[in-house]
Amino acid sequence: MSSGRSQKVKLRYNIVSTIVYIAGIVLLAQLFNLQIIKGEDYRNQSNTRLSRESTLQAARGDILDQSGNKLATTSATQVLELYKTKIDNQTLNNTLLAIAQVLEQNGDKYVDDLPITVEPFAFTMESEETQKKWKKQNNIDESKTAEECFYILKDKYKISNDNISEARKIMTLRYTIAKNGYSSTKTVQLATNISENSLAIFNEQNDKFPGLSIQTKAVRNYVSGSLASHILGYVSRITESELKGNEDKYNANDMIGKTGIEYIFEPYLKGTDGIKQIDMAVDGTITGEYVTNEAIAGKNIVLTIDANLQKVTEEALKNNIEKIRSGGYGKVYNADAGSVVVMNVKTGEVLAMASYPDFEPQLFVDGISQEKYNEYISEEANHPFINRAISSVSPPGSTFKMVTALAALETGAITTTEKINDVGIYNYSADYKPKCWMYSSYGRGHGYLNVTDAIKHSCNYFFYELGNRLGIDAISRYARSLGLGRKTGIELLGEVEGSVSSKENSQAKGETFTGGNTLQAAIGQHDNSFTPVQMAKYISILANGGNDIDVTIIKSIIDEDGNQISKQELENFVKERLGIENDKGTELDFNSKNLQAILEGMRGVTSESGGTAYSYFKDFNIEIGGKTGSAQTGVAGRTNAWFVGFAPFDNPEIAVVVMVENGGSGGYTAEVARDIIAEYFGMNANKVTEDMSAMPSVQIQN
């Protein structure tokens, strides 16, 4: 190597060495500055700073009608939360009192689950059993009075305030903290829907409220009050038992679906929460915030119902019940409840489903008051939480006669042209000699009738004879093939099976099935008892030509990107969620001539003089098929009223089933169906605007 080249290498080495030495000196100087000169300052700052993760609550998915109108949605609201900080007990109590006073002076409410009132002292819990349970949970002797319990808690929380009203404010919030828990990383929720005035005070005086945090959260809103309440259900705060085992998905402040669609589709409606990092001083003052994981909104559930048709259906049912109860049809019946189902006869989609009485889902979001809850569960309220369309059964009365007629025609027990002479009293059963309603009212029978006219006039004698010819086994078999006495599989909790009259049912009850029971079953009595949704399926099958249908109230489920989940995924989810398998029943293959004879009878009910619902439809612009039914309930003086029908007659689109408990006569309920059909076919003026931006004196007869 030449000397010149060697010198260049040494020069480069010396330069690199010098740079390394200088960098080392700089680093050592900086380290000395950090650890020695400014170390104490940085340690003090570190000891007075906390970093916490806060949950960014995901918006719950919307529930929409088939046109995209929102029935349940979420809106942003300000929520007051509290972190645990390094302050003493007295400071905590003072802080909580100050928070309560700010909220109260601005008309805001805070969480108040403390079951003791003051001035005068009293328990808000009605039963002694509930009081004993609460005392046990709080380690208080069960003999203690409300006042004694109050002062026990006052001592427990070391509340020094002599003013008992102020002491209760503090105690209420301390009780909330004790019940739900909180820490330096987990908040306890104190209030929701905070006003602008309260927000301004809390933000401007943040240092006076250590640990206080204001978060924007999504709150459930039921935009149309009680509309479709039994379908939608409601959400409320998660319980301890619901939270157990689901801590990875929920926290103690979360809302969760309790009934209806909100419950069944909770896994889809609940989104994925995000995470926000919050920097706070040890005294609780927030020094910085930033999002680390964005929240993902829940999926939207699109229902098959039409919001405007649902509204008309609910109003028509309510008005009808009030009219019957006030004697509007010439006689007073204490009608107190009812339900309606409107169904697409070709697809099985439920277009409207009403149950009366109903309730307000919104009341449960922030915690329903004890007073309102007591009102709902009182005897006078008549169980407003029950969805009578799927959870209540009733004998169908004469609306069942099409089943008996179809069974007789299909088995050859009668032809479409054969006539039976109704002489008034049916004397062909050893244990039962029933009278036709015509004989009971006018002292004579209907005379000779074929099957079409027997349906039109609802002749009991005719169907007693068919029952006698058929036997109960055939009637039962055809009833089941039409979906009666079987769950429809609708995507709602609480559907019941009902029952079809049969020898097996009687034996299961330890009873002997008789010939007279067959006659009763043939006109929709005895053990026949069905839900309105089953009846809607049955009428749909008759109207569509005998094709089986799958009843549904779900149109689609749409994710945050606008994609629909597959039909197979939806079916599998519903089966697992409800723990059911679809019961397809018997394959349907009915003779079209037989069906037409039955449908013509239903047309006569509404379109021809002498039809049991003619007076209600004689001036109607659309020809329909229908059937009335007045069903004995087994309770003296109580007769349930049914109307079933479809429209239009020549090319059926919808089936309508109405049932009013203790409605007296089936004809009375025909007005409900008339109003619904008029709305469906555009004969009424009022409409709900489609949201294009959304995701997708009358004679009583049977």
Percent of the chain's residues with pLDDT above 90: 66
What integer is the mean pLDDT of 95-102? 95
CA distances from 417 to 127, 208, 409, 436, 594 (A): 66, 91, 10, 21, 10
- The pLDDT, as a whole number, for residue 264 is 97
Quickly count: other Cβ atoms within 10 Å of residue 156's Cβ. Answer: 15
Whole-model pTM: value is 0.80
Q: Position of tokens 């906390």?
A: 50
pLDDT greater than 50 at residue 689: no
Residue 113: which H helix or E strand, with range?
none
- For the chain, count helices (H), then strands (E): 26, 20
Tell whether the model's pLDDT for residue 543 goes beyond 90: yes
Q: Contact 316/671 with Cβ under 8 angstroms? A: yes
- The reported pLDDT for the residue numbered 699 is 34
Largest CA distance in the chain: 141
User: pLDDT by residue (tens digit) across 38-97?
Assistant: 555 555 544 445 666 667 778 899 999 999 999 999 988 888 999 888 899 999 999 999
Q: Where are the alpha helices (DSSP H) in 424-544?
A: 437-442, 451-457, 460-470, 472-481, 503-508, 515-522, 532-543
The residue-averaged pLDDT of 186-205 equals 89
Query: What pLDDT is recorded for position 34?
Result: 59
How is residue 35 annotated by DSSP? I
Q: Are strands 300-303 and 188-191 parallel, antiparallel or unpaired?
A: unpaired
Average pLDDT on 264-269 reads 96
Distances (CA, A) of 93 to 83, 88, 133, 199: 14, 9, 27, 20
Helix (H, G, I), strand (E, B) or coil at 79: strand
Q: Give the model's pLDDT for residue 282.
A: 59
Give how far Cα 436 sits from Cα of 603, 669, 701, Å.
22, 22, 11
Strongest mean pLDDT among 36-45, 128-137, 309-318, 624-633: 309-318
Residue 182 above 90 pLDDT? no
User: Rounded CA gap, 206 and 224, in Å?
Assistant: 38
Residue 503 in this model has a pLDDT that exceeds 50: yes
- pLDDT for 303 equals 98
Q: Tens digits of per-residue pLDDT, 379-435? A: 878 899 999 999 999 999 999 999 999 999 999 999 999 999 999 999 988 888 999
Please report where in the chains the tokens 């019946």 appear, as a residue. Answer: 333
Convert the pLDDT of each residue in 21-41 to its tens digit.
777 777 776 766 656 665 555
Q: Partners of 49 in the beta sheet? A: 281
What's the pLDDT at 18? 76
Burial class (CB in 10 A: 0-12, 13-18, 19+), 354: buried
d(C-alpha 87, C-alpha 11), whole Å: 64
pLDDT score of 3? 58
Between residues 588 and 551, the one the model is more confident about: 551
Is the confidence at residue 279, as pLDDT, over 80?
Answer: no
Please determine, for residue 293, whether its predicted confidence score (pLDDT) is greater than 60: yes
Tokens, residue 257: 């679906």
Strand order, beta sheet including 274-281: 49-56, 274-281, 286-293
Supply the pLDDT for residue 62: 96
Please check the confidence at residue 438 and state whether its pLDDT lies above 60.
yes
* Mean residue pLDDT across the chain: 88
| Least confident range of 136-140, 377-381, 447-451, 641-645 | 377-381
What is the torsional sign of CA 501, 505, 506, 509? negative
| pLDDT tens-digit readout, 239-266 | 889 999 998 888 887 899 999 999 999 9
C-alpha span between 484 and 478 (Å, rounded): 9
Among candidate residues 424, 507, 436, 520, the one with its CA nearest the CA of residue 472: 520
Three-state SS string across 460-491, please?
HHHHHHHHHHHCHHHHHHHHHHCCCCCCCCCC
**What is the per-residue pLDDT for 552?**
97
Rounded to whole angstroms, the Cα distance separating 702 from 697 reads 16
Residues 457, 495: contact at Cβ < 8 Å?
Answer: no
* pLDDT over 60 at 630, yes or no: yes
Other beta carbons within 10 angstroms of residue 5's beta carbon come to 9
- Measured N-to-C along each axis, helices 515-522 and 472-481 cross at an angle, to the nearest 10 degrees, of 30
Axis crossing angle, helix 460-470 with helix 472-481, rounded to the nearest 10: 100
Closest alpha carbon to 701 in 518, 522, 447, 456: 456
Q: What is the pLDDT at residue 15? A: 73
3-state secondary structure of 443: coil
pLDDT in tens, 646-668: 999 999 999 999 999 999 889 99
Q: Each residue of 587-612: pLDDT tens digit?
A: 678 999 999 999 999 999 999 988 88
Lowest-confidence range among 75-79, 137-141, 284-288, 408-412?
A: 284-288
14-18, 177-181, 592-596, 631-635: least confidently modelled range:
14-18
The DSSP H or E segment spanning 586 is none
Residue 2 has pLDDT above 60, yes or no: no
pLDDT at 38: 59
CA distance 401 to 405: 6
pLDDT at residue 577 is higher than 70 = yes
- At a CB cut-off of 8 Å and minimum separation 6, what does 234 contact? 222, 257, 258, 259, 260, 262, 361, 362, 364, 365
